[in-house]
Amino acid sequence: MEQLFHMSALELGQKIRTGDLKVRDVALSYMERIKEIDPTIHAFLALNENRLEERITEVETGIREGRYTGPLAGVPVAVKDNICTKGLPTTCASKMLEDFVPAYDAEAVMRMEAEGMILLGKTNMDEFAMGSTTETSYFQITVNPWNKNHVPGGSSGGSCAAVAAGETPLALGSDTGGSIRQPSSYCGVCGLKPTYGRVSRYGLIAFASSLDQIGPVGKTVGDCAALFEMIAGKDAKDSTSSNHPLENGKDLVSGSLRGMRIGIPEELADGIDAEVKKAILDAAQVMKENGAQVETFSLGLTDYLIPAYYIIACAEASSNLERFDGVKYGHRSKDATELHEMYRKSRQEGFGAEVKRRILLGSFVLSSGYYDAYYLKALKAKALIKQEFDKAFEQYDCILAPAAPSTAPKVGISLSDPLKMYLSDIDTVAVNLCGLPAISVPCGMDSKGLPIGMQVIGDLFQEKKILKAAAAYEALRGAFPAAWDTAEL
């Protein structure tokens, strides 16, 4: 069944529809592969074994009766552990939610199940999505399938590592400041961060509500487009979700590069590793030779991206995580003797160091005397950054940039210097501040054999443009190698 794990999700779906593959064989093969490989990768926190047989039967019956007819019917999928799944633990990789089992599914999960997809399990992440390496997880450190001495990125590192290792053909992640695109780059897979509001956040445990967005991770651009089409759309349960019309998955990736106007910001080349810069420019040259109009331009205000992002994100995090007080749900300290001591000890025991750091920073910038000096200024900077992107999209259909300034660092390095970890988000946070769509697609390898990802950024609700550009480049690039072809898993 080795060939099975090389197939894209769309290829699997096609073979299931034609009867060349059976739903049961596909689902059980992936579950066996997880059990074989994950003890070294540590991508999963929980497996959906108890309901798997029942779900396989449901899907087989639904396909046979014509209820599940979509391109991903019968295809397995994994879900990041901050997205609620009924009857399956959803921990946010935190001691605070170690025993939390939701009574409902997130809207995105409901939509996948309504189309006949099969949930394999929940993937590891940085605690409460706060981190860039998946090392802040309370339970385990996920490693990069290309080289187990390196991180997979974060915070959706578990989802991206699982796809890269062939443990699942597709996965859901969440992106607050690059948490889908950066680990996709590190792991050599494709990851889409949709326009803010395109995908319902109902059932997504919030980090920063104005920045968070659920999105797909897959082997190919087409896989991401198909899953995006499935989970996108208006949801009455999420007041921020949009009813903007959506094209179907095939239309989203169809078309050539001819006549497409592509800009490369001069500022985003600052601080980029030479090998990453070369890979991005080589990819841009391929696009140019195949009909795209490519030029560099000045974006401006890039010095304010990291400060504005971390002030806003931490402020919202401190507000969102206030609910974890040991009273209603989540970890409760057994050592407390009165109410305020219970609050303090429950949070002290339940949250890890990175989460505490961001709560403290967020509480500080929201406090009396500092609100105007920091938080309001960050909001103003955010508005000015959006204006710069508006100007850019008057000239360009898409913007190219690295998905990360370097390839995956070694395990243990980033945690020793949190500020350096924050600065590594320089290429991705602008997209979240402005609510824009962006996709990371593999564009090369460095001298250490680690993947390099190129980010294609579009204007609001212009997923069609970025997916078309990414798919066209992907076709020109040719098949990207699988991690297990070059590494011992």
Amino acid type, 20: D
Selecting among 94, 132, 137, 155, the annotated active-site residue is 155
CA distance 10 to 130: 32
Residue 25 in tokens:
């064989």
Give the integer Cα–Cα distance in Å for 219 and 235: 27
DSSP secondary structure code for residue 409 in this structure? P
- Active site (annotated) includes residue 416: no
Catalytic residue status for 80? yes
Contact between 292 and 258 (Cβ < 8 Å)? yes
Q: Before 155, cis peptide (omega within 30)?
A: yes
Out of 80, 219, 345, 382, pick the active-site residue: 80
Coarse DSSP helix, strand, coil percentages of the chain, rounded to the nearest 5 percent: 45, 15, 40
Asked about 179 being catalytic, the answer comes back as yes
The pair of structure tokens assigned to 24 is 């049961």
Quote the CA–CA distance of 27 and 170 in Å, as a whole number: 12
Catalytic residue among 156, 179, 184, 241: 179
Quick check: helix, strand or coil at residue 107?
helix
The owner of tokens 């794990």 is: 5
Assigned token pair, 67: 């209820």
Q: Say which residues have a Cβ less than 8 Å from residue 303's Cβ, sequence separation at least 6.
A: none
> 242, 147, 149: which is closest to 194 by C-alpha?
242
Closest CA to 388 of 298, 477, 294, 285: 298
Q: Which residues are the active-site residues?
A: 80, 155, 179
